Amino acid sequence: MYKVTGLLVLFSSFVFSQQHRSLQDCEDAFRNNNLQLLAQEFNISQTDAEIIQAKIWDLPQFGFSANLYNPQDSKLLEVGPTKSAQISQLFLLGGKRQKQIDYIKTNKELAQLQYKQMSIDLKSQLRETFYSLYFDQKKLKSLNNQLVYLNDLLKAYKVQVAKGNISLKDEVRLNSMIIGLNNDVIQLNNSIIAEQNALELLTGITEPIIPEIGNDTVENSLSFAPLFSLEDLKKKAFENNANYITSLKTIVGSKQYEVWQKSLNTPDITGGLQWNQNSGYYENEINFTIGIPIPLWRQNEGNIKKAKLQTQQNEKLADLQKLTLSTQLSAAYQTWKNQYDQLQGIPQKDMDNMDLVYKSMTENFRKGNVTLIDFTDFTDSYKQAVLQVNEIKKQVMISAEEINRLVQIPIF
């Protein structure tokens, strides 16, 4: 009994430290504080830096030559009048530089798509966790209300058992029910702690959160059914899903990489100027120089073949991504429909009637008009119904959010 009281006191202090937050509050904090998303932004900035780097020309080369050792007179560093100097610059041909820039720009688009997908995934995780926490806390509130009443009842039973007015088996039966309720409370508290930790990582809000949602908002969300068919949802997903678009963009990138690799077979020219003080045909002569590799074979053929194979591989992976998206959406839609249909099969009037009957049973039990067996049986049934209905509602919201995540336009 003291353990139960301590648990309730601990839970009360935990609730007292919590902060009421709306979903919009959490989403705002997510955009400003989520470290995983903030880190992902650097990938986009890195591709910008790669574009800057690709535009930079190779540095010109400077050379100088002079005599190091005079073998006739055995003198070291006798420079003499035969010095020469040269400067040269590499000129890329075949559009190599621009093709490389085009390829990196595609990588930037891929980084932006990956950022978008991560943002959508994390935001969806935030919303699902928010809804889970909301309904789990509703379950916990119901269980705690029942526990308070049953614990008070158990105190009274202990007194009556000690006086010999009530059988010990009634006390044991009531105590067994309280133990079962306490176990349910502990499991729910563990789930709530995990959900609170997940929200802290997602939003950066260190105080435990109490989700704040208006009853009308919840009921409207639970009763909403999209007008789109499953096939329409799939078409919209193929148009908007960042993961699938990324797989298509990867094909474009691999083709651009292949074009860039082909351009590397084009020989480049090195041009320059040379000055000879006294070792040429003329004194202080200035010459120009041109150098170009002799294309006796295709030196980049292996990389070109590799790029072609990467393109073919990415085409297969895009087909796989499309199939995966289609199957995930089918499963998510069917899951939502099953939960939605189940919830619609439970009229709100039935739940209201159950609450009224529970209050009536409680009052009549106090008056002695209901036996303990009937009361505990009904209380257990009522507990299971409350837990199950809230779980169904939670799953409707979560499965709807999963459809939003896959289609990536607001369906729900």
Dist. CA 242–CA 409, nearest whole Å: 11
- Give the mean model confidence (pLDDT) for residues 354-366: 86
CA 312 to chain centre: 28
In the predicted structure, residue 307 carries a pLDDT above the cut 50: yes
pLDDT confidence of residue 325: 98
CA-to-CA dists, residue 267 to 86, 90, 294, 307, angstroms: 22, 11, 8, 20
Task: With a cut of 70, say whether residue 85 has pLDDT above it.
Answer: yes
Neighbours of 111 (CB within 10 A): 20
pLDDT at position 295: 86
Closest C-alpha among 160, 154, 141, 273 to residue 210: 141
Smallest CA-to-CA distance from 18 within 184, 127, 133 is with 133
pLDDT at 160: 85
Residues ≥6 apart with Cβ < 8 Å to 191:
132, 136
- Cβ(251)–Cβ(75) under 8 Å? no
> Could you state, in order of their start, the residue ranges of all structural domains in the chain?
2-33+92-265+300-407
3: pLDDT strictly greater than 50: no
CB 396 within 8 A of CB 343: yes
| Cα–Cα distance for residue pair 139/383, rounded to 1 Å | 9
Say yes or no to pLDDT of 205 above 50.
yes
> Cα(325)–Cα(305) distance, rounded to whole angstroms?
30
Q: Distance between alpha carbon 150 and the CA centroid of its chain, in Å? A: 43
Contact present, 364 and 370 (Cβ < 8 Å): yes
Give pTM, 2 decimals: 0.84
156 pLDDT more than 90? no
At 283, is the pLDDT very low, low, confident or very high (cuts 50, 70, 90)?
Answer: confident
Q: Which residue has the higher pLDDT, 220 or 47?
A: 47
Task: Convert the chain into a string of H (helix), E (strand) and C (coil).
Answer: CHHHHHHHHHHHHHHHCCEEEEHHHHHHHHHHHCHHHHHHHHHHHHHHHHHHHHHCCCCCEEEEECCCEECCCCEECCCCCCCEEEEEEEECCCCHHHHHHHHHHHHHHHHHHHHHHHHHHHHHHHHHHHHHHHHHHHHHHHHHHHHHHHHHHHHHHHHHHHHCCCCHHHHHHHHHHHHHHHHHHHHHHHHHHHHHHHHHHHHCCCCCEEEECCHHHHHHHHHCCCCCCHHHHHHHHHHHCHHHHHHHHHHHHHHHHHHHHHHCCCCCEEEEEEEECCCCCCCCEEEEEEECCCCCCCCCHHHHHHHHHHHHHHHHHHHHHHHHHHHHHHHHHHHHHHHHHHHHCCCHHHHHHHHHHHHHHHHHHHHCCCCHHHHHHHHHHHHHHHHHHHHHHHHHHHHHHHHHHHHCCCCC
> Span 127-142, mean pLDDT?
96
Contact call for residues 382 and 181 (beta carbons, < 8 A):
no
Backbone φ and ψ of 336, nearest 5°: -60, -45
pLDDT higher than 50, residue 25: yes
Q: How far is CA 248 from CA 114, 243, 268, 317, in A?
A: 13, 9, 33, 9
**What pLDDT score does 306 carry?**
95
Identify the pLDDT of residue 17: 59
Residues contacting 194, CB < 8 A, separation 6+: none
Give me the mean pLDDT over the 360-366 stretch: 87
Per-residue pLDDT, averaged over 10-15, amounts to 48
What mean pLDDT value characterizes the chain? 90
- The pLDDT of residue 297 is 83
Q: Which of 143, 327, 142, 130 is nearest to 221 (CA)?
A: 130
> CA–CA separation, 135 vs 145, rounded Å?
16
Q: Which residue has the tokens 């995983």?
A: 36
CATH code for the domain defined by 2-33+92-265+300-407: 1.20.1600.10
pLDDT of residue 45 exceeding 60, the answer is yes
Measured distance between the N- and C-terminal CA atoms of the chain, rounded to whole angstroms:
46
Token couple for 323: 């199939």
Q: What is the CA radius of gyration of the chain?
A: 37
Q: Give the pLDDT band (50/70/90) at residue 165.
A: confident
Q: Among 71-80, 250-259, 269-278, name the one with the lowest average pLDDT.
A: 71-80
**Model pLDDT, residue 78:** 73
